[in-house]
Amino acid sequence: MGKVIFVSGIDTDVGKTVATGIYAKKLMEQGFSVITQKMIQTGCKNIADDLLVHRKIQGIDLTEEDLEGETCPYLFEYPCSPHLAAKLEGQEISEKIIEKSTALLVEKYDYVLLEGRED
């Protein structure tokens, strides 16, 4: 069973995405299996933009888990706060769905780097 490391910052555009990608790459270089995860991403359609940055830094293609939505269980088109985006798109955010996605990843990888904010 893998470990979850929460990569956090106090605001947007403080470097969480780049730091997460670099951290993942360094762990991979040490021989660990690593996946990154975003709980929620707004302002995009098919794949979370931050995951694209992570994979580029890691030097890997999108994973099966990326394509299946396990690495970002909530993706909203509206570029606003997650709760507002969910409301605008008629969805409700469930912590259980996020927890289930993380649990599935933890079963497959040595490390899951979970990028997010603490609020």
* Catalytic (active-site) positions: 38
Q: How many CA atoms lie within 13 A of 65 on its CB side?
A: 23
Rounded distance between C-alpha atoms, residue 105 and residue 109, angstroms: 6
- Report the distance separating Cα 106 and Cα 79, nearest Å: 29
Contact 36, 54 (CB under 8 A): yes
